[in-house]
Amino acid sequence: MPQLVRVIAFMNTDNQGTTGLGDLTLNQFFILSKKKWGQFGLGYDVQVPIGAPAELRSNQWTQVQQ
């Protein structure tokens, strides 16, 4: 089954001027049907709090099913 996997790492700056790596987001989608005009699929998003320094992380795991 074809799928799309995307990993996103954000570079964040807080209001104090601290800059660093933000949370990591993983998107994975399974392509169920392809047409000329688009695709249908199911997938999920997971946000992993790995931000460094600590001021830039959300301190919570987030999962969204789509």
Q: What is the mean pLDDT of each successive set of 10 residues along the chain, which is 66 residues long?
A: 87 80 86 89 86 65 57
Query: How high is the pLDDT of residue 7?
Result: 92
Query: How high is the pLDDT of residue 63?
Result: 58
Contacts of 26 (CB under 8 A, 6+ apart): 5, 6, 7, 8, 45, 46, 48
Residue-range definition of the domain harbouring residue 46: 3-65
Q: Is the pTM higher than 0.85?
A: no
Give residue for tokens 């992380």. Answer: 57
> Rounded to whole angstroms, what are the CA distances from 66 to 5, 9, 24, 25, 51?
14, 20, 18, 14, 25
> Is 26 in contact with 9 (CB distance < 8 Å)?
no
Q: How many domains does the chain have?
A: 1
Query: How high is the pLDDT of residue 64?
Result: 59
Strands 19-35 and 3-13: antiparallel
